[in-house]
Amino acid sequence: MNTSNLTIETNDLWQRVKTICLSTIQNIEEKGQAERYFGMISSVTHIDDVIKFMVPNKFAAETIEKNYAEKLKLCFGLAGASMNIKLEFAVDENKKNTIVYTPHQVAKSRKISSFISTMPLNDEYTFDEFVRGPSNSFALAAAMGVVKNPGKSGYNPLFIHGGTGLGKTHLMQAIGNELKTRDPSLAICYLTAETFLNEYVNYMKNSNIMEFRKKYRSVDLLLLDDVQFFQKGSEIQEEFFNTFNALQQAKKQIVMTSDVAPKKLPAIEARLISRFEGGMVQEVETPSYETRLAILRKKAESSDVRIPDSTLEFIADNIKSHVRAMEGALGKVAVFIGATNQVLNIDQLKHLLKDLIEKEQTLKKLTIEEIQNEVAQKYGISVAQILSTEKTQSLVTPRQMAMYVARKITPKSLQEIATAFNKKHATIIHGVKTIEKRLDVEPDLKNTLEEILSKFGSKIEYK
């Protein structure tokens, strides 16, 4: 038997597979998510043709298996492993987060909390790495206020809202990272609303709802990202309402983010909205040129290669919609400089960043109506049919496809998209998810999507 657990070769192989796998994911957000999940893997064992991954909880095991198993298998092949390997995902009993329920004193006496966050914190998302500017100074001040006095009434909950890629997750995790450093005995939990929902469903399935409650009601700091994903009238809102009340009563800090202000969250019940507004609400806005440049300088500092200021200015000038896109540009430039040891002139920069710049320009101008038009044309139906409520499949697919494209390639909020389709917020989320799932298994649908996107000068990096 070839037992290579913990050997240098297995570790080496796994590092290579990880690098290959991450490099195949174009979308920066998806890449970040994959990095977080791979970071949860505590050990990799290679016995015969079975590669076994240990992770801290069942949810992580299921998610990694569902989302990455296929890809990982392929990458193991690319990295030189046998093509017949089987992947297994199991819970690492030593790291299992059952100790979550250990009474607080015990955790305290050990000085380090044994609670493991549902999703790991990215340790690069710190206050030090966050650049302050007029677009985010209030949100930043509020986040620092929370750190000073977690659980204090004026700041509890803290609700940060704003467009995508503007630093909400970064700020929220900076609170978590900072509090963890100041007091390692705190039980800190970060997760997205979507994951909260999935966990809830999983615990329900296993008739373990009491454990779910115990877990989330025992945290000192709950960081709940992207609450716009909660759906109207759902059990999960009831569950979260109760969790929220329990935590607040115990003076535990809650931080939430969303892409719109609380009162514009149409799928969220009024009683929850009023809770969300009960503490402090702050917005992050699109950064100015100076802030964009400052952010680029900060990010460039941690790059392996030296990137000249004129290059950073070019990026700040041409890529404005969100910080995530700027990071994408910076990454491309760094790879080029690293590989060629050559500084880029303006023409080369324009060429290298052509896709990103074009996307920026088309997306800025692109309206949801144009998307509806294009999709209707592609499927040979009318825009009125896209907007109708008729449920025949020949209309449902184009309708959901239009929702998907609008959500993925424009910076419009869910609310704006819902209004443009004259549908409920939850209907848009459902439409987007349905297409996402179908794209994985229907190559024809993927081709159609590619054709639609090409009309807008966009590529299929959105899956």
Interaction between residue 279 and ligand ADP (CB under 6 A): no
Q: What are residue 228's phi and psi, to 5 degrees?
A: -65, -10
Q: Parallel, antiparallel, or unpaired for β 221-225 and 280-283?
A: unpaired
User: What is the C-alpha to C-alpha distance for residues 40 and 97, in angstroms, rounded to an integer?
Assistant: 12
User: What is the C-alpha to C-alpha distance for residues 17 and 35, in angstroms, rounded to an integer?
Assistant: 12
Q: 169 vs 415, which CB is nearer to Mg ion?
A: 169
Interaction between residue 169 and Mg ion (CB under 5 A): yes
Interaction between residue 166 and ligand ADP (CB under 6 A): yes
Which of the listed partners (ligand ADP, Mg ion, none) does 166 bind, with a CB threshold of 5 to 8 Å by partner kind? Answer: ligand ADP
Q: 170 vs 275, which CB is nearer to ligand ADP?
A: 170
The residues with which 91 forms a beta bridge, in sequence order, are 55
Among 72, 323, 366, 403, the residue binding ligand ADP under the rule CB under 6 A is 323
User: What is the C-alpha to C-alpha distance for residues 160 and 187, in angstroms, rounded to an integer?
Assistant: 21
Indicate the length of the chain as a whole number: 463
- Which range in 108-116, 301-309, 321-329, 349-357 contacts ligand ADP by CB under 6 A? 321-329
The residues with which 223 forms a beta bridge, in sequence order, are 190, 255
User: How near is the Cβ of 43 to ligand ADP at its closest, in Å?
Assistant: 28
Q: 157 vs 398, which CB is nearer to ligand ADP?
A: 157
Interaction between residue 161 and ligand ADP (CB under 6 A): no
Interaction between residue 315 and ligand ADP (CB under 6 A): no
Q: Give 234's contacts (C-beta < 8 A, 6+ positions apart).
A: 197
> Residue 304, exposed/middle/buried by CB under 10 A (0-12, 13-18, 19+)?
exposed
Interaction between residue 327 and ligand ADP (CB under 6 A): yes
Q: Map the footprint of ligand ADP across residues 132-151, applying CB under 6 A.
A: 136
Q: 82 vs 181, which CB is nearer to ligand ADP?
A: 181
Provide the strand spans (E) within 113-162: 158-161
Q: How far is it between the farthest Cα atoms of the chain?
A: 68
User: How near is the Cβ of 133 to ligand ADP at its closest, in Å?
Assistant: 7
DSSP secondary structure letter of residue 102:
S
- Which range in 168-176, 205-213, 306-314, 406-414 contacts Mg ion by CB under 5 A? 168-176
Q: 252 vs 322, which CB is nearer to ligand ADP?
A: 322
Q: Parallel, antiparallel, or unpaired for β 253-258 and 221-225?
A: parallel
Interaction between residue 164 and ligand ADP (CB under 6 A): yes
User: What is the C-alpha to C-alpha distance for residues 384 and 112, in angstroms, rounded to an integer?
Assistant: 59
Q: 65 vs 285, which CB is nearer to ligand ADP?
A: 285
User: What is the C-alpha to C-alpha distance for residues 256 and 248, in angstroms, rounded to an integer?
Assistant: 13
Interaction between residue 324 and ligand ADP (CB under 6 A): yes
If you compute the radius of gyration of the chain from its CA atoms, what whole number of angstroms results?
23
Q: Which string of x and - marks every residue 122-161 that binds Mg ion (by CB under 5 A)?
A: ----------------------------------------
State which residue has the least CB distance to ligand ADP. Answer: 167
Which of the listed partners (ligand ADP, Mg ion, none) does 95 bind, with a CB threshold of 5 to 8 Å by partner kind? Answer: none
At residue 79, the 3 state secondary structure works out as coil
Q: Map the footprint of ligand ADP across residues 39-58, applying CB under 6 A.
A: none
Q: 193 vs 247, which CB is nearer to Mg ion?
A: 193
Interaction between residue 173 and Mg ion (CB under 5 A): no
Interaction between residue 131 and ligand ADP (CB under 6 A): yes
User: What is the C-alpha to C-alpha distance for residues 241 and 292, in angstroms, rounded to an integer?
Assistant: 37
User: How near is the Cβ of 131 to ligand ADP at its closest, in Å?
Assistant: 4
Using the structure block, give the residue that is written with the tokens 């869910």.
414
Do residues 221 and 214 lie in contact, with contact meaning Cβ atoms separated by under 8 Å?
no
User: How near is the Cβ of 177 to ligand ADP at its closest, in Å?
Assistant: 12
- Which range in 150-158, 163-171, 245-253, 447-455 contacts ligand ADP by CB under 6 A? 163-171
Q: Give 15's contacts (C-beta < 8 A, 6+ positions apart).
A: none
User: What is the C-alpha to C-alpha distance for residues 224 and 193, in angstroms, rounded to an integer?
Assistant: 6
Interaction between residue 169 and ligand ADP (CB under 6 A): yes
Do residues 257 and 235 lie in contact, with contact meaning Cβ atoms separated by under 8 Å?
no
Which positions touch Mg ion (CB under 5 A)?
168-169
Which positions touch ligand ADP (CB under 6 A)?
129-131, 136, 164-170, 295, 298, 323-324, 327
